[in-house]
Amino acid sequence: MYIHQNINWTDFKYSIEHLANDLASVRYKQGYLLGQMKSLGFSIREEAMLNSLTLDVLKSTEIEGEFLDKEQVRSSIARRLGIKTLGLVRSSRDIDGIVEMMLDATQRYDKPLTEQRLFGWHASLFPTGWSGIIKIEIGKYRTGEMQVVSGPMGKERIHYDAPEAERVQTEMNIFLQWLNSETLLDPIIKAAIAHFWFITIHPFDDGNGRIARAITDMLLTRSDGSSQRFYSMSNQILNERKAYYEILEKTQRGNGELTEYLTWFLFCLKEALDTSERQLESILSKAQFWDQHIHTSFNERQRSILNKLLDGFNGKLTTSKWAKINKCSSDTALNDINDLIAKNILCRSEEGGRSTNYILRPFIGV
């Protein structure tokens, strides 16, 4: 028996006394992070926000087994927020749609979540009307039954049966009325309940997980009281994906008792805030690097690669990689690298291997 088969199934129960310490800890970390960000310069806050939003879009999609191009996501967000940054690339229609949904949720967090707004989010996730090779209903609630399954074809395991299609409209009306109403609930608890409630209704043919996480981000942004995002809940959910699906399945088969689920949600949020604090150190280090080299002459290729190194370059930087990333010749790449070595910014790695690779020299502030 699933939770939605109970009478008055949305009369959720939980122990606020049990949650009090965890909620207080999360609230403290949330306030501390936002306070630290406010003390930083505008450009550093922009960089931190761009990184967090990029991570959120990438990881929310990765939870569903889809992998997006990081540079396209970052560029799409930067263009829409008017953030000036080097190395922007063209982004695909699919990526732009996902970004538009996330930015609508977080930048217009104080606006009501209406049915039409939800339909707009859904349409932006599937601009072609297809999910892979499957034609789906776009910008409307599903008219068919919905199951959450896993496993290979012929050996599927059913994790969850969503409410019947004819119930979806009524269930969503109740959900949206609750979400848009003023309540005495702590905004973080409301975000957690909204996530579970929406994912339990599963109102669309596809995209329910991504939209549930967008709703969560919208409500967490309300709890922050600022559209500037400095942490990613989706990234932490991805790290806890197995536990995420387990707690959802267990709670959806329960009687409306949410204490265990809410405890898990608060743990995830705390970890997301801790991760953001560690990432802030990297952003500050990057800002200090550019402050130290404010009068150093760089070409656009060098600035682009240095930013990638400061962000955490994936793999080893070789001459051939430099040439490929910057779409230039190997000779040009080598000249760029030798210039940075002469300026005491890059050095050859001591690691052996077939190809010489290069790393940043340590600098003050790292």
Angle between helical axes of 93-107 and 208-224 (0-180°, round to 10): 30
Query: CA nearest 104: which of 214, 225, 233?
Result: 214
Please report how many Cα atoms fall inside a 13 Å half-sphere around the Cα of residue 81, on the Cβ side. 27
Task: Provide CB contacts within 8 A for 357, sequence distance 6+.
Answer: 316, 317, 318, 348, 349, 351
Place of tokens 């879009």: 57
Say how far apart CA 217 and CA 95 lie, in whole Å. 18
| pLDDT value of residue 322 | 96
Say how far apart CA 309 and CA 354 lie, in whole Å. 21
| pLDDT value of residue 366 | 44
Residues 54, 73: contact at Cβ < 8 Å?
yes
> Buried b vs exposed e over 238-268: b needs ≥16 C-beta within 10 Å?
bebeeebbebbeebbebeeebbebbbbbbbb
User: In this structure, what are the phi and psi dihedrals at residue 152, rounded to the nearest 5 degrees?
Assistant: -70, 160
User: In this structure, what are the phi and psi dihedrals at residue 51, rounded to the nearest 5 degrees?
Assistant: -65, -45
Two structure tokens written together for 47: 């960089």
| pLDDT value of residue 10 | 97
C-alpha torsion sign, points 196, 197, 201, 207: negative
| pLDDT value of residue 350 | 80
Task: Provide CB contacts within 8 A for 202, sequence distance 6+.
Answer: 142, 146, 148, 160, 162, 163, 208
| pLDDT value of residue 102 | 97
- Which class for 65: exposed (0-12), middle (13-18), buried (19 or more C-beta within 10 A)? exposed
Taking CA atoms, 182 is separated from 28, 176, 186, 190, 216, in Å, by: 23, 12, 11, 11, 17
Neighbour tally for 305: CB within 10 Å: 24
Global pTM? 0.82
| pLDDT value of residue 264 | 98
The DSSP string of 84-135 is: --S------HHHHHHHHHHHHHHHTTTS---HHHHHHHHHHH-TTSEETTEE
Residue-wise pLDDT tens digits, 216-239: 999 999 999 999 999 999 999 999
Place of tokens 């790449």: 333
- Which class for 212: exposed (0-12), middle (13-18), buried (19 or more C-beta within 10 A)? buried
Query: CA nearest 220: which of 184, 263, 189?
Result: 189
Residues 138, 129: contact at Cβ < 8 Å?
yes
| pLDDT value of residue 171 | 98
pLDDT, tens digit only, all 366 positions of the chain:
899 999 999 999 999 999 999 999 999 999 999 988 888 788 888 988 999 999 999 999 999 999 999 999 999 999 999 998 877 899 999 999 999 999 999 999 999 999 999 999 999 999 999 998 999 999 999 999 998 888 777 778 889 999 999 999 999 999 999 999 988 899 999 999 999 999 999 999 999 999 999 999 999 999 999 999 999 999 999 999 999 999 999 999 999 999 999 999 999 999 999 999 888 877 778 888 988 999 999 999 999 999 999 888 888 999 999 999 999 999 999 999 999 999 999 999 887 566 789 999 987 654
| pLDDT value of residue 365 | 53
Say how far apart CA 337 and CA 316 lie, in whole Å. 14
Two structure tokens written together for 41: 């310069």
Taking CA atoms, 350 is separated from 155, 164, 180, 359, in Å, by: 51, 62, 58, 10
Q: Domains plus CATH for the chain? A: 3-285 (1.10.3290.10), 295-360 (1.10.10.10)
Say how far apart CA 325 and CA 317 lie, in whole Å. 10
